[in-house]
Structure 1
């Protein structure tokens, strides 16, 4: 199937899936992009390839690279303890929690959003005003005084609070806001001119509004379902082309040195032995039977936000799918993988 036929097929698939969002699929000189649905349903404004989308936890990788940048600068080390680089008090936390534990979800700190106990992220904001949550420190009342769930290093348990703590570390070590550090050292360095950490009540042009489906084919926006501004555990806005630029910049050592990039990208924790899924500072990855990396995996889920991306290092192929609805990105990504 030639490139034009692939593009036409993917346009059909988007409509069949009732997908709302945009995608990018690229390998060297073959790039296929597309979009479908509305970024603003009320005004009937359609999604475009250059529309900005929220990516929820998909931007935990930006946090990891920000931390690695500070390690590279000699400001901290991966074995630096949490207590040695933040001024906030965590009375029930173990003193031996390290940056490595936080990056690999093995810190054992209480997660402010435990997906095993709470199905819906927007339930968090029923008693805690989301409009005041605009920086890492604003999340602390949700977990700062809770008891540990595990001893550090005991087990992998996906943890949003750990990445809030990493954001605090970046701010206090770099002496600037977390978001400005990421925008300078990652977005600007990679040429991601359409990306940023925007506030829900002050979104720039070409930004998709997130939509949540209710009963009877009715939709509501996600403005009351997310923090006012995203941060270290999720919430950046990107274009699909910008995410492709990110992977190109990362793999060509524009963001970090070659040695540090390899440190960030290597596998560490086994998450699912049956499926050969591992976790590292860069997030999830799939390995083959020889423990070589098949692909890096990014994912993000929030009410009205759905993001999936994969990067295949051996073929240098990158696939990015952003949706401004709660579902749909994974289904389209699997079709793109099959077609390509």
Structure 2
């Protein structure tokens, strides 16, 4: 929270969760797989047509879900190590997934599909695009219908950063020694790689619904480890981080004016969730909560 002032923050305040939303994208896509609209083996090219020609012919939905596609990233965190220094041009125009095509284009592949894990923001925007084209339904409505509604997440939605409601926390970052809003640093409306706004209570509702099979039935397949990520001391499933040695499942996000981590232990049914409207704000509390 900016300026260290928590007086106006209520338990139902909505925070942007940055990449925490990737899990919702994954589940929307996997619900389409369940319904036969997509397959894990569906190639991106089969739905992209002539768009994004640098994405290899053999890149599949599963590669994108597991960050093993090798595609070049419009927001490459190996290059942009200080997230607050990254500015998106014409952020106000990024209100649809299709509007991201110019940003996604022109990035050469890093490696062959399936070769290794490499976290890729753009891959989840591509997933949103594939889901839209396969289903004929816009990404935001897909998430609302297939994730938020069955999970009972009544306070969670895609909010425009230039017209946030009174119950949503504005994201802040330090610029020229002053805390300023992050409105120029992020797309005005979140898409597949994250940025949805939610509350701590809704995140708890999500975990309960997810592990009850209310969103997709085969939960075990979603959280089955696909990749070891030793540099993060974690593993990765289909859109979800996994603890390196326990059954705990994690959603996490970090962006200009946002930080978030939620960990759920299905064995005990316990959830810890930390939300902040600054980039570093969540991490001291996350560390204090980590055994």
Deviations 1:29-67 (A, max 9, x none): xxxxxxx834xxxxxx61111000000001100011011
Cα drift, residue 331 of structure 1: 1.6
- 2:265 pairs, out of 312, 319, 322, with 312
Note the residue ranges of structure 2 that are not aligned, 5 or more in a row: none
Give 1 or 2: higher strand fraction. 1
Q: 1:163 to 1:238 in 2, by over 3 A?
A: same
Give the number of the structure whose alpha-carbon radius of gyration is greater.
1
Whether the 8 Å contact between 1:309 and 1:319 is mirrored in structure 2 is yes
Is 1:92 the counterpart of 2:45? The answer is no
TM-score by length of structure 2 reads 0.94
2:253 alignment partner, SS class: strand
TM-score by length of structure 1 reads 0.81
Match of 1:271 in 2: 229
Cα drift, residue 124 of structure 1: 4.5
Query: Could you say what the CA RMSD is over the residues aligned between the two structures, in angstroms?
Result: 1.9
Whether the 8 Å contact between 2:226 and 2:236 is mirrored in structure 1 is yes
Matches within 5 A, 1:1-340: 20=1, 37-38=5-6, 46-121=8-83, 123-125=85-87, 128-214=89-175, 216=177, 218-257=178-217, 260-272=218-230, 275=233, 277-288=234-245, 293-338=246-291
2:180 alignment partner, SS class: strand
Deviations 1:6-48 (A, max 9, x none): xxxxxxxxxxxxxx39xxxxxxxxxxxxxx834xxxxxx6111
Q: 1:306 to 1:273 in 2, by over 3 A?
A: closer
Cα drift, residue 264 of structure 1: 0.8
Cα drift, residue 273 of structure 1: 7.7
2:31 alignment partner, SS class: helix
Whether the 8 Å contact between 2:235 and 2:244 is mirrored in structure 1 is yes
Note the residue ranges of structure 1 that are not aligned, 5 or more in a row: 1-19, 22-35, 39-44
1:125 alignment partner, SS class: coil
Q: 1:47 to 1:160 in 2, by over 3 A?
A: same
